[in-house]
Amino acid sequence: MPFRETCRMEERIRMLIEYDTGNWSVSDLCRRYDICRDTFYEWRARRASGAPDWFVDRSHAPSYSPHATPAELRERIISLRRRFRYLGPRKLLVKLRREWPQLCWPAASTIGDILKKANLIEPVKRRRRPIDQQRPFAAVVAANDEWNTDFKGWFRTADHQRIDPLTLTDSYSRFLIDVRIVPASIEGAQPVFARAFRRYGLPVSIRCDNGAPFGSSGAGGLTRLSAWWLKLGIEPHFIRPASPQENGRHERMHRTLKKQTSRPPAGNAVEQQRRFDKFRRHYNDERPHEALGQRPPAELYTRSLRPMPTRIEDPWYDADHQPRRVRSSGEIMWKGDRIFISEALVGELVGISELETGDQVVRFCDLDIGLIDASGRFSRFAPRRNALCEPAEPSTVNLSAIIPVQNVENHPG
């Protein structure tokens, strides 16, 4: 209890004790304690009531407020919160207006106060907001312009089995395409993508990080998985190393997924997958999304008009390209020599085109993956990334009409 309030209570007790002695008049006591006569009589009446805490300050809040939320509305708010315990006041307000549009619902701040009084909101530790920085998202103006993918951080179920959830979302609508427990490998991830492509069609691009199974340190940053995407006409968008904020939409979904499905984890992998499936339905069809005007993602997402082909053909190259098939060792034959290109492209067809400098640029689909110089040495290109480095001086040599070459790293042939 604050010190000043304690002193005021002691003064009230002492004032009435002095009054009981009969040595002081009411006027003298009022002048001495700097109060009016009405206040003195109020404290004397409170003591006479017999209340043990008569000297304590009472609340000055009105006993009745004509603007208070009716009990019926409060009950419906609390009931809906118990049904959707992970939805905050703003999302609850959207659902309340949809289910009972004829009722006049209070503001989201009032709903938060109601939930707080009902002990349905856990206090959140406030953290200092970091300085914001520009996020180099690709421009997406429609569904399937870009998908996001990543493996959410692994954890163990109650039976100590390791769980690696692979997640896919649509950047434009935030639609959660899939959450699937698979090994964190190309063999585990590729069937998930194939199933998503058959069900929803092909996106224009996929945003992912640089680690396996999506990216590598090889030519063009490709793995067998991202090379397969290119053959399907899907461009990989690799974020910069150690920059998860460049895939912030997807990471934000991961935080919600973790909170609602893995704290605590399920008993086994089968039960955990059921939780993921239930969360996906809730996230897409029921949960309002603030970035979408409090609409669920399913209201904005539409299937891609590019279907998954039944057969994937070899890439087509212009007439000025010389095609070469990458051998099982990752090498190609070039002018009588074997030159190592990439193990990720084993069995694939690459195209080689001569530049004005006399070097040969190696392309896979529409992606420049490296250069072969006059001595037969192959220099691989790092993956093209937004804002990876400062723009270089414009070159007079056009290496590719589709993707400019950046970051050359030597790799002996």
The DSSP code sequence of 365-388 is: TTEEEEEE-TTS-EEEEPPP-TTS
Average pLDDT, the chain: 85
Task: Encode pLDDT of 384-397 as tens digits.
Answer: 665 443 333 334 43
Please count the structural domains in the chain: 4
pLDDT mean over 358-367: 91
- Spatial distance between the Cα atoms of 240 and 209, rounded to a whole number of angstroms: 7
**20's tokens:** 């009981």
Helix or strand run (H / E) with residue 155: strand 155-156
Question: How confident is the model at residue 185, as a pLDDT?
Answer: 93
Question: How confident is the model at residue 395, as a pLDDT?
Answer: 41
Percent of the chain at pLDDT > 90 equals 52
- CA angle (295 as vertex; 292, 301 as ends), nearest 5: 75
Taking each helix axis as running N to C, give the angle between helix 269-285 and helix 248-261, from 0 to 180 degrees, rounded to the nearest 10. 120
Residues 288 and 331 in one domain: no
Residues 155 and 288 in one domain: yes
Question: How confident is the model at residue 403, as a pLDDT?
Answer: 37
Give counts: helices (H), strands (E), the chain.
10, 15
> What is the rounded radius of gyration, in angstroms, for the C-alpha atoms of the chain?
34
CATH number (domain holding residue 216)? 3.30.420.10
Question: How confident is the model at residue 61, as a pLDDT?
Answer: 74
Task: Find the domain containing 98 and state its range.
Answer: 71-117
**Whole-prediction pTM value?**
0.69
Identify the three-state secondary structure at position 73: helix
Q: Give yes or no for residue 140 having a pLDDT over 60.
A: yes
Bigger pLDDT: 73 vs 60:
73
- Spatial distance between the Cα atoms of 11 and 19, rounded to a whole number of angstroms: 12
Domain annotation covers residue 64: no
Residues 79 and 41 in one domain: no
What pairing do the DSSP bridges indicate for beta strands 147-151 and 205-208?
Answer: parallel
Residues 380 and 270 in one domain: no
Residues 272 and 347 in one domain: no
Domain annotation covers residue 313: no
Nearest to 383 by CA among 201, 147, 223: 223
Across the strands, what pairs with 331?
Answer: 340
Domain annotation covers residue 59: no
Task: Tell me 358's DSSP state.
Answer: S
pLDDT mean over 297-323: 93
Domain annotation covers residue 36: yes
| CA distances (Å), origin 153, targets 273, 323, 335 | 15, 41, 47
Domain annotation covers residue 310: no
Question: How confident is the model at residue 56, as a pLDDT?
Answer: 84
Residues 291 and 153 in one domain: yes
pLDDT mean over 173-199: 95
Domain annotation covers residue 54: no
**142's tokens:** 């429609």
Reported as a pLDDT band with limits 50, 70 and 90, residue 108 is very high
Question: How confident is the model at residue 386, as a pLDDT?
Answer: 57
Q: Give yes or no for residue 182 having a pLDDT over 90.
A: yes
Residues 168 and 270 in one domain: yes
Residues 17 and 107 in one domain: no
Bigger pLDDT: 127 vs 144:
144
- Spatial distance between the Cα atoms of 169 and 292, rounded to a whole number of angstroms: 14
Domain annotation covers residue 312: no
Most confident of 53-57, 208-212, 267-271: 267-271
Residues 336 and 407 in one domain: yes
The amino acid sitting at 350 is: V
Question: How confident is the model at residue 2, as a pLDDT?
Answer: 64
Domain annotation covers residue 103: yes
Across the strands, what pairs with 379?
Answer: 371, 410
Residues 161 and 35 in one domain: no
Residues 238 and 369 in one domain: no
Residues 11 and 112 in one domain: no
